[in-house]
């Protein structure tokens, strides 16, 4: 990949914000007063004049050398596996029915975060809240109830890394971060950034990634729902696996279905250039298990992830089963397709 020299806030604004490809990961927010996140958008509030630009070094939407992250985290130069470097892929679910009922699918993320906290592996975790009148945002959770309050999928970005930045600045240590593939990329880039990236990333003890095909622009989603007569805050969103092609919104007044083709119109444009579906730079990545709403697909990637996952199984916090080979094939195909679409959108040759 050709490296583009991008210097300074103004270039970040020109190359990302003005091109409309910001994915609201929040990596540039919370480290200075110049970038802010509010109601689903990352904005520039003032012009900065410094010469370090940590914002530029972490943005996952600026061109960067992905191989350097493979090298740093997995000591490989490249990865030909569509779902990224990993130790194992299994189906899993929370052993706790309560957790499962709060969660979108099998409750693995919620269960793992609570377990990591209770085991003392992490002190607290940055997750994404449910949102309300405003878009979802990051929230620092340090107990079971708070984590449970964040269960479920949002289908829109939350810039939760801004909350992580603030938590680190406030002196929090041994943190878990739960986020989308773009956020895991940004966290990965943080480890390689100057002058204090490695130190700041060192405060993150556990990274749990969420599968993501795209996220919706929250402000556009709110307007879309308004045109459909939904003004109250939805309780839950869902996109059942193909071929259903619907977007489901559950509110206190019931359940409504909308054509996915309409909803795709309000996907964040920045998602179209994202090549990562399975959060390749997380310790553990979690997503849906096609065809079985009670379970998750879990990709364990790192030693740290493996250790936690096995410990959780032993403690009965998680249950696992083998993932059907057809599911794994579908997953790889979907991940590969996302990568191909992204490379095409970026005008780059596909490696495959």
Partner 1 sequence: MNRISQKKGGTRMLLQANEAIARGALEAGVIFAAGYPGNPSSEIIETLAKASRDLPIYVEWSVNEKVALEAATGASFAGCRAICSMKQNGVNVVSDFLTNLSLSGTKGGLVLVSCDDPGGISSTNEEDARAFAPLSDIPLLEPSSPQEALDMARWAFDLSETINNIVMIRSVSRLSHSRSDVQVKDLPDFDVQPYFDTKVSFHTFPIVAKHQARHEKLRMAEELFENSPFNFYRGPSRPELLVIGSGCAVDYAIDAIEIMSLWERVGVLKLGTTWPLPRKLLLENLQKSESILFVEDVDPFIETNVKALAAEAARQVGVKTFHGRGSGDFPLCGELGPSHLLEFFGNYFDLDWKDQEFRNKMGSLTKGKIPPREFGFCPGCPHRGSFYAIKTALAWDDRDGFVSGDIGCYTMGIWPTGFNQVKSVHAMGSGSGIACGYGKLEGFGFDQPVITVCGDSTFFHATIPALVNARFNNADILLVVLDNSATAMTGFQPHPGTGKTAMGQPTQPVDIAALCESMGLEVHVGDPYEMKETARRLYDLMQKQGPRVMVLRRKCALVQGREGGFPYDMHVDQSLCVGEECGCGRYCTRIFRCPGLIWDKEKKKAMIDQVICVGCGICAEICPQGAIKKEAKG
Closer residue to partner 1 (CB): 34 or 281: 34
Give the distance from CA 97 to its chain's centroid. 25
Q: Vertex 130, ends 125 and 18: CA angle to 5°?
A: 90
Which CB, 43 or 121, lies closer to partner 1? 43
Min dist. Cβ of residue 254 to partner 1 (A): 26
Contact flag: residue 172 with partner 1 (CB under 8 A): no
For residue 166, what are its two tokens? 């603030």
Give kind and range of the element (H or E) at residue 189: helix 181-191
Q: Does 45 bind partner 1 (CB under 8 A)?
A: yes
Q: Distance (Å, rounded) from C-alpha 243 to C-alpha 55?
A: 40
Closest-CA residue to 24 (of 274, 238, 258, 249): 274
Which C-beta is closer to partner 1: that of 51 or that of 227? 51
Taking the complex as a whole, how short is the minimal distance between the CB of residue 288 and partner 1, in angstroms? 32
Nearest CB to partner 1, comparing residues 54 and 86: 54
Return the residue of 10, 11, 43, 324 that touches partner 1, per CB under 8 A. 43
The bridge status of strand 88-94 relative to strand 296-300 is antiparallel
| 351's tokens | 């490696």
Indicate which single residue of 4, 7, 50, 326 sits in contact with partner 1 (rule: CB under 8 A): 50
CA dihedral 4, 159, 238, 336 (to 10 degrees): 20
Assess contact for 327 and 292: CB atoms under 8 A. Answer: no
Q: Which residues contact 130 (CB under 8 A, 6 or more apart)?
A: 136, 149, 150, 152, 154
Q: How far apart are CA 44 and CA 28, in angstroms?
A: 10
Rounded to a whole number of angstroms, the minimum distance from the CB of residue 194 to partner 1 is 9
> Minimum CB separation from partner 1 for residue 192, in Å?
16
For the segment 60-79, give every residue that binds partner 1 (CB under 8 A). none
Residue 53 or residue 247: which is nearer to partner 1 going by CB?
A: 53
**Minimum CB distance to partner 1, residue 102 (Å):** 28
Q: What is the number of other CB atoms lying within 10 angstroms of the CB of residue 85?
A: 16
Closest to partner 1 by CB, 13 or 308: 13
Nearest-angstrom CA–CA distance, 247 and 266:
12
Q: Is 54 in the site for partner 1 (CB under 8 A)?
A: yes
**Contacting partner 1 within 107-146 (CB under 8 A):** 133
Strand partners for 208: 178, 284
Question: Are 215 and 268 contacting, i.e. CB atoms less than 8 angstroms apart?
Answer: yes
286: which strand partners?
A: 210, 298
Site string for partner 1, 9-38 (x = CB under 8 A): ----------------------xxxx-x-x
Kindly tell me which residue out of 49, 77, 253, 325 binds partner 1, with binding defined by CB under 8 A.
Answer: 49
Measured CA to CA, the distance from residue 321 to residue 301 in angstroms comes to: 17
- The answer to whether residue 41 forms part of the interface with partner 1 (CB under 8 A) is yes
Is residue 46 near partner 1 by the rule CB under 8 A? yes
Cβ of residue 50: shortest distance to partner 1, in angstroms?
A: 4
Distance CA 146, CA 114 (A): 10
Residue 53 binds partner 1, judged by CB under 8 A? yes
Instruction: Using CB under 8 A, pick the residue from 48, 127, 178, 204 that binds partner 1.
Output: 48
Q: Please, what is the minimum distance in Å from the beta carbon of residue 306 to partner 1?
A: 36
Q: Which is nearer to partner 1, 45 or 261 (CB)?
A: 45
Q: Considering only 39-47, 94-102, 244-252, 330-338, which stretch makes contact with partner 1 by CB under 8 A? A: 39-47
Q: Does 329 bind partner 1 (CB under 8 A)?
A: no
What is the smallest separation between the CB atom of 49 and partner 1, expressed in angstroms? 5
Tokens of 337: 């397709």
Where on the chain is the footprint of partner 1 (CB under 8 A)?
31-34, 36, 38-39, 41, 43-46, 48-54, 133, 195
């Amino acid at each position: 990949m050709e490296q583009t020299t991008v210097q300074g806030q103004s270039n970040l604004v020109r190359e990302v914000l003005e091109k409309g490809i910001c994915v609201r990961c929040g990596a540039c927010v919370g480290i200075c007063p110049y970038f802010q996140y509010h109601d689903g958008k990352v904005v520039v509030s003032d012009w900065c004049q410094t010469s370090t630009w940590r914002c530029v070094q972490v943005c996952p939407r600026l061109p960067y050398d992905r191989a350097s992250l493979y090298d740093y985290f997995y000591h490989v130069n490249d990865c030909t596996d569509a779902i990224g470097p990993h130790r194992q892929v299994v189906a899993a679910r929370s052993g706790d029915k309560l957790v499962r009922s709060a969660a979108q699918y099998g409750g693995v993320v919620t269960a793992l975060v609570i377990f990591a906290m209770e085991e003392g592996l992490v002190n607290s975790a940055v997750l994404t809240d449910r949102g309300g009148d405003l878009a979802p945002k990051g929230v620092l959770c340090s107990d079971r109830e708070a984590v449970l309050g964040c269960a479920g999928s949002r289908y829109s970005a939350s810039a939760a890394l801004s909350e992580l930045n603030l938590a680190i600045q406030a002196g929090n240590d041994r943190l878990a971060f739960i986020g989308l593939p773009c956020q895991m990329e940004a966290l990965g880039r943080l480890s390689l950034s100057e002058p204090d990236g490695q130190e700041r990333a060192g405060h993150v003890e556990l990274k749990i990634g969420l599968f993501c095909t795209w996220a919706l622009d929250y402000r556009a989603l709110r307007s879309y729902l308004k045109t459909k007569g939904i003004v109250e805050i939805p309780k839950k969103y869902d996109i059942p696996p193909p071929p259903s092609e619907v977007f489901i919104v559950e509110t206190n007044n019931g359940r409504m279905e909308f054509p996915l083709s309409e909803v795709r119109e309000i996907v964040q444009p920045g998602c179209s250039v994202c090549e990562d579906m399975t959060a390749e730079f997380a310790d553990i990545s979690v997503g849906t298990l096609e065809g079985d709403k009670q379970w998750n697909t879990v990709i364990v990637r790192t030693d740290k992830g493996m250790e936690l996952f096995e410990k959780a199984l032993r403690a009965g916090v998680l249950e696992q089963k083998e993932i059907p080979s057809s599911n794994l094939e579908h997953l790889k195909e979907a991940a590969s397709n996302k990568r191909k679409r992204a490379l095409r959108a970026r005008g780059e040759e596909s490696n495959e």
